[in-house]
Structure 1
Amino acid sequence: MSKRSISYFYDPDVGSYSYGSTHMMKPLRMRITNELLTAYGLLPKMDVQRAERATAEQMTSFHTDEYIEFLSKVTPETVEELTFNGARFGVSQNWDNPAFEGLFEFCALSAGGSVAAAKRLTSGAADIAINWAGGLHHAKKGEASGFCYVNDIVLAILELLRVYPRVLYIDIDCHHGDGVEEAFYSTNRVMTCSFHKGGAFFPGTGQLKDRGSGVGFGYAINVPFKDGLSDQAFHAVFDPIMEKVMEIFQPSAVVLQCGSDSLAGDRLGCFNLTMQGHAHCVQHMRKYNVPLMLVGGGGYTVKNAARTWTYETACALGVEHELDPRLPYNDFFEWFAPRYRLEVAEGNLEDLNIKNDSLKVLRDEVLQNLNELKAAPSVALQDIPRESVGDHLGLTFSESDKPDDLDKRLAQHSRFVYELQEPERSDYGSEEDSDDGSGSSRRRTRRTRNSRRTKKMSILTNEWEETPTFDCHEPHEPINGGRPRRQFFESGIVWQIERVPVVGGYKGSINIHHAMENGGQRDDVEMNVDD
C-alpha cells in the first residue's frame, strides 16, 4: 500500500472539558485515542500539529454573530437567562446541549483543528489530515443540536472551497448529518452523502427523497438504514455508491466523518458494525488518492471510539496490518478490561436491512438518482486571495487593539434594531381597523409570549419535545421582577416605538417623523420635554 503524508491534529487540553458527569458525550475519548496512538508508536509516522484555536471571526463565516457572541458569554449560571429558559440557541441545562465550563474554548479547539486540517490539504502539505476532536455535524447556523455547538465540518469545507472546485462530504455516523447537509443543500459544489439510521431516530431527517434544492438538487445523498446494520450489508451499499459518486461528481477533496456510534454496542447507536467494518470506509476512500480529511463525531462507548479511531489512523497510514491486537500498556489500560484487545466485535442484533430485499431496493434507488447527474459541475477559475478582506483593509484587531465593550454593545443593539424594522407577519395576531374620530388607525394585537412553540427531537430519547420560541418583537418584560428579557442585547438606551433618543443638548424625546421633516432641529411644539 502506497505511503501518504499524514497531518494529525491534537490539543492536549481537549480531555479537560466535560459536558457533565452524567452526560453521554465524553471529550476524554480524544485523549484516550491519543494515548493509544502513542502506545502503538504511530505518532512519529505522522506530522503531529497543535492547531491554533478558531477565532470568533472564523466561526462567523458560517454561524451568526449573535450565536457566537452568546457562546462566548454563556455559563452554567447564566444559560437560562441568556436563552430565555431554553427558547433560543438550542442550549439549556435541561436539554441535550448544556452550557458547561469552558464551552467556547472547547468549540474553538474543535473548530480550529478542522480548519487547520483543511489548510494543510489546500496548501499541499498533507495528503490526509486528521482531527478526531472534530466531526460535530449537527450544529446549525444559529443553534446547537445533538451535543454539537459549532459545526467544524462546515467551516473546514468552506476553507477547502477556497481552493478546490468540488468537495465530497461522507458521513457514516449513526445519526444523520443534518447540519452539514442543511448548510450546502442548495449548492452543487458540495455533495453530501450520509449513511445513517432512518425513521424515528434523531434528528428525524435524512429521508431518501431529500436530494437538495435549486442547483443543488441531486447533490444531497441520503441512505437511511434499519436497525442491526452488519458489515456485509453496509459494504454492499457503501462501495457501489461511492464508486458511482467518485465517477460522476469527481471531487477534488473528500471529508469523511467517522462517527463511531454506528459501531456495535454503542450507548446511543443501533447498528452492528465491527471496528474493521467501520474502518473499511477509510480504506475504501484512501485508494482514490484524493486529498482526504478525517474527523470524529459521535461515539458514546468511549473505549470503542478510541479503539476504532486508533485503527483508522493506522488505516490512513497504511499500517493497520502491523498493529498487535493485544493492546500495549498505556495510562488508560484498565478501561479496556476484560479483553484488552484492539477490536470491536459484532453483537447479536438482527439485521433488519436484509429482509424482503429492502437493502437492494435502497441501493438501486440511490444509484438511479446518481445516474440522473450527467456530469461534474464546473467552477470558474479565479485568483485565490492570500488574506481576508478584513486583513487587507486593516479592519481586523490584534489582541492589544480590540474594540471596547461599549463598541460591542452598540453593535449588538444596532443589529437588534435592524431586525425590528421588518417584523414577520407570523409574529402578530389579528389586525383590526378602528375609527376614533380623528381618522382610521390600525390596531395590532400581539400574540401571547411563548404561544408559538417548536418541536425538537432529543438525541438521548429520540422523542419529540416542545420548546418555547421567544418572540423578539414583543415588549420587554422582566423575569421574576428582575432585569428585562432582552438583557443580552441591552445597551443602556431606552428605545420607543417611532421615537429616537435625543442627545442634542436637551432632555426628552422627539417624534421621528418631525425630526426628519425639520432636519433634526428642535421643535418645542412637537416635543415631550421631561422637566
Structure 2
Amino acid sequence: MRSKDRISYFYDGDVGNVYFGPNHPMKPHRLCMTHHLVLSYDLHKKMEIYRPHKAYPVELAQFHSADYVEFLQRINPDTQHLFPEEMAKFKLGEDCPVFDDMFEFCQIYAGGTIDAARRLNNQLCDIAINWAGGLHHAKKCEASGFCYINDLVLGILELLKYHARVLYIDIDVHHGDGVEEAFYFTDRVMTVSFHKYGNLFFPGSGDVKEIGEREGKFYAINIPLKDGIDDTSFTRLFKTIISKVVETYRPGVIVLQCGADSLAGDRLGCFNLSIDGHAECVRFVKKFGLPLLVTGGGGYTKENVARCWTVETGVLLDTELPNEIPDNEYIKYFAPECSLRIPTGHIENFNSKSYLGTIKMQVLENLRCIQHAPSVQMQEVPPDFYIPDFDEDEKNPDERIDQHTQDKHIQRDDEYYEGDNDNDHNMDDV
C-alpha cells in the first residue's frame, strides 16, 4: 500500500450551467452542488484541483466517428429542425436533446477524464477524480441514455497507451453498455458492470451470458440484479467478484464509474443502497493500491448525488466526514435535516440468496476460463497529444496556449470560492 495517495480532482464550473430542458431528469447542476459540498468540507485542501482542457474534436474522434463529432459541434437548438435525417441517424432527440452549449459540455466532461488518464499515465497522481464524467452509454456513432460522448472509452484508450490491462468497474444502476461494446472483442480491457436488468429496464442489455467475443471472450462480466438490492447483498457480491477479478486479471489500472442512480430514492433507480453502501465499493477498490480513475455517471435525485460523491471524495482521501453538512451556497437543498447520510430505501428486495448465488457462480466460472493474466504484446506508446495543426494567424490569440501550459493551471483561484463571481475571490478567501 502507498503511504499517502496523491489525488488530482478535475472540475470546471461551466459544466454545471447547461440545461437539458424542463422535465429532463439529467441535471448537470448536481455537479456544482457536489463541488460546493466538497469545498464546504475543506476536501479541496487535500487534493490538487485542476480545470480540465476542453477536449478537441480530433481527441473525441479517437473513439467516435468523425461525422458524429462534427454534427455535435455544428448542431444547436435553433438549427436542429433543419437536419431531421442526421438527428435520427445520431439518435438525438427526446432522451438526448440538443441544448445550448451542448458540445462545450461534452468537451469539458470528456477533457476531464482524458486529463485524469494522462496524469495517471505520467505518474503525477495515484487517484484521479472527474465527477462530471462517467457517461457510459454513448456509442461510436450515436448518443444514448443522456450521453453524447463516451468519456470513459476515451480515458481507457489513453490508459491503454501505458497499461497492458485496464479494469473497468461500473456501479451505476444502468448497464455500462457503451464501454462494454467498445471493448467487447479485446482482452486488454475487462469490463465489470453491476446493474438492474429485466422488465425492459434501460438499456436492456447486460445479461450474465454477455461475456465478450473473440479475443474478448470472458473479458466482459455482467452482474444483472433485480429491484431492491440492499447494502449487505450488494457489497458482499461486489467484494467477492472484484477480488477474484483483480486476482485473475491483474490489471495495471482501474477505472471506477460511480453512478449514483443506484442509491435508494433515486428518481430513475430501483435499488436500496445507502450512501455508505455505495461508498464501501469505492473504499474496497481503493484498497488494491492500483492507479485509479474515478468518475460520476447517472444520478437523478441531485442532492443525494452531491452527498454521495462528496462522501466518496472523502473515502478516496481517507477522510471521515461529519454528518452535519457545513454551510454552503446550496445548503437549502439539504434542508431541513442538513445531514450527509440518507436512509436506505424500502423497496422490496427481489434478489433472493439463491438468485445471487447463481449469478456469483456463473461469473466465477467464467473467470476460471482465464487461467492466467493474458500476455499482451505492448505496442510503441503513441504520443499523448493529438492536437491538430492550426494556422496561428486565424486562431484567437486568447486561445493560443499549448496543452502543457494548460496543464500547469493547477489550483485556479476561481475554482475554490463559494461566491457567484469567478473573479472576486482568491485563495485567501477560502
> CA shift at 1:401, angstroms?
5.1
Q: Kindly, what percent of the aligned residue pairs are identical? A: 51
> CA shift at 1:347, angstroms?
1.5
Moved over 3 A (4+): 385-388, 398-402
Counterpart position of 2:139: 140
Aligned residue runs from structure 1 range 333-372, under 5 A: 333-354=331-352, 357-372=354-369
Counterpart position of 2:424: none
Letter in 1 for 2:201: F
> CA shift at 1:73, angstroms?
0.8
Letter in 1 for 2:132: A
> CA shift at 1:21, angstroms?
2.7
> CA shift at 1:79, angstroms?
1.7
Counterpart position of 2:236: 236
Please, which of 372, 379, 391 is the counterpart of residue 375 of structure 1? 372
Matched residues in 1 for 2:378 and 2:202: separation?
A: 40
Matched residues in 2 for 1:346 and 1:399: separation?
A: 56
- Bigger RCO (CA 8 Å, 6+ sep): 2
Matched residues in 2 for 1:399 and 1:182: separation?
A: 39
Counterpart position of 2:29: 28
Aligned-residue RMSD, C-alpha: 1.5
> CA shift at 1:86, angstroms?
4.2
Aligned residue runs from structure 1 range 112-151, under 5 A: 112-151=111-150
> CA shift at 1:383, angstroms?
3.8
> CA shift at 1:362, angstroms?
1.0
Q: Any unmatched runs of 5+ in structure 2?
A: 396-430
User: What whole-Å deviation, never above 9, does each CA across 1:108-139 have from its counterpart, x for those lacking one?
Assistant: 00100000000010000000000000000000
Q: 1:8 to 1:366 in 2, by over 3 A?
A: same
Given that 2:271 and 2:345 are in contact with CA atoms closer than 8 Å, whether structure 1 keeps it comes out as no
Matched residues in 1 for 2:107 and 2:7: separation?
A: 23
Matched residues in 1 for 2:235 and 2:38: separation?
A: 27
Counterpart position of 1:68: 69
Partner of 1:72: helix, strand, or coil?
A: helix
User: What whole-Å deviation, never above 9, does each CA across 1:166-216 have from its counterpart, x for those lacking one?
Assistant: 000000000000000000000000000000001121000011100001000
Q: 1:370 to 1:332 in 2, by over 3 A?
A: same
Counterpart position of 1:487: none
> CA shift at 1:387, angstroms?
5.4
Counterpart position of 1:412: none
Counterpart position of 1:462: none
- TM-score scaled by structure 1? 0.72
Aligned residue runs from structure 1 range 352-501, under 5 A: 352-354=350-352, 357-386=354-383, 396-398=389-391, 400=393
> CA shift at 1:365, angstroms?
1.2
Matched residues in 2 for 1:387 and 1:334: separation?
A: 43
> CA shift at 1:5, angstroms?
0.4
Counterpart position of 1:54: 55
- TM-score scaled by structure 2? 0.89
Given that 2:264 and 2:273 are in contact with CA atoms closer than 8 Å, whether structure 1 keeps it comes out as yes
Matched residues in 1 for 2:392 and 2:264: separation?
A: 47
Matched residues in 2 for 1:170 and 1:399: separation?
A: 42
Given that 1:79 and 1:91 are in contact with CA atoms closer than 8 Å, whether structure 2 keeps it comes out as no
Counterpart position of 2:405: none
Counterpart position of 1:300: 300
Q: 1:387 to 1:298 in 2, by over 3 A?
A: closer
Given that 1:91 and 1:98 are in contact with CA atoms closer than 8 Å, whether structure 2 keeps it comes out as yes
Q: Any unmatched runs of 5+ in structure 1?
A: 403-531
Given that 2:91 and 2:142 are in contact with CA atoms closer than 8 Å, whether structure 1 keeps it comes out as yes
Aligned residue runs from structure 1 range 483-522, under 5 A: none
Matched residues in 1 for 2:110 and 2:267: separation?
A: 25
Letter in 1 for 2:275: M
Letter in 1 for 2:154: L
Counterpart position of 1:219: 219
Determine whether 1:258 maps to 2:258: yes
Counterpart position of 1:162: 161
> CA shift at 1:386, angstroms?
3.7
Given that 1:174 and 1:271 are in contact with CA atoms closer than 8 Å, whether structure 2 keeps it comes out as yes
Counterpart position of 2:274: 274
Matched residues in 2 for 1:87 and 1:383: separation?
A: 39
Partner of 1:87: helix, strand, or coil?
A: helix
Partner of 2:281: helix, strand, or coil?
A: helix
Given that 2:167 and 2:254 are in contact with CA atoms closer than 8 Å, whether structure 1 keeps it comes out as yes
Counterpart position of 1:284: 284
Given that 2:212 and 2:219 are in contact with CA atoms closer than 8 Å, whether structure 1 keeps it comes out as yes
Please, which of 322, 325, 329 is the counterpart of residue 327 of structure 2? 329
